[in-house]
């Protein structure tokens, strides 16, 4: 991958590949609970995740954790930057039909912000 990012002239963290017919969705029944708890819409997380995974124009810093087992499924945490420049965390799982399911969307805590800074050099304004 390093050769590809060198040829493109971009940092490794900006390079992403989306394969197949993967879709991103969320549980409409959990929308209100996430808004109330975290102040973010799961629907907007879908848009944000699409921008992070398939960057067009001006890509933003982004990193994804290795999968971890929680509540009987593999979950991934994606830390990135939203349209306002805030560092955010999106938690996802993969469904059998090639669908990425957004589980949670919220502002990142200080440790998550520090991790993003360590890996990408981005610091929230």
Q: Where are the domains of the chain?
A: 2-120
In the block, tokens 């469904």 appear at 95
Domain 2-120 carries which CATH code? 3.10.450.530
Q: pLDDT: is 123 or 67 the higher one? A: 123
Q: What is the largest CA-CA distance in the chain?
A: 44
* Mean pLDDT to the nearest integer, 83-104: 89
H or E element in which residue 106 lies: strand 99-107
Residue 79 Cα to chain centre, angstroms? 5
How high is the pLDDT of residue 92? 92
Percent of the chain, pLDDT > 70? 80
How high is the pLDDT of residue 114? 94
The band of 28, judged by pLDDT with boundaries at 50, 70 and 90, is very high
Query: Looking at the predicted structure, is the pLDDT value of residue 99 above 60?
Result: yes
């Amino acid at each position: 991958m390093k050769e590809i990012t060198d040829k493109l002239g971009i940092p490794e963290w900006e390079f992403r590949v989306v394969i197949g017919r993967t879709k991103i969705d969320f549980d409409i029944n959990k929308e209100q609970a996430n808004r109330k708890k975290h102040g973010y819409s799961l629907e907007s997380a879908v848009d944000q995740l699409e921008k992070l995974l398939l960057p067009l124009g001006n890509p933003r810093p982004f990193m994804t954790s290795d999968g971890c087992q929680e509540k009987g499924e593999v979950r991934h945490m994606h830390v990135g930057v939203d349209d306002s420049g805030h560092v955010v965390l999106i938690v996802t799982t993969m469904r059998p039909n090639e669908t990425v399911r957004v589980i949670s969307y919220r502002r990142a805590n200080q440790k998550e912000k520090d991790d993003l800074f360590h890996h990408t050099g981005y610091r929230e304004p």
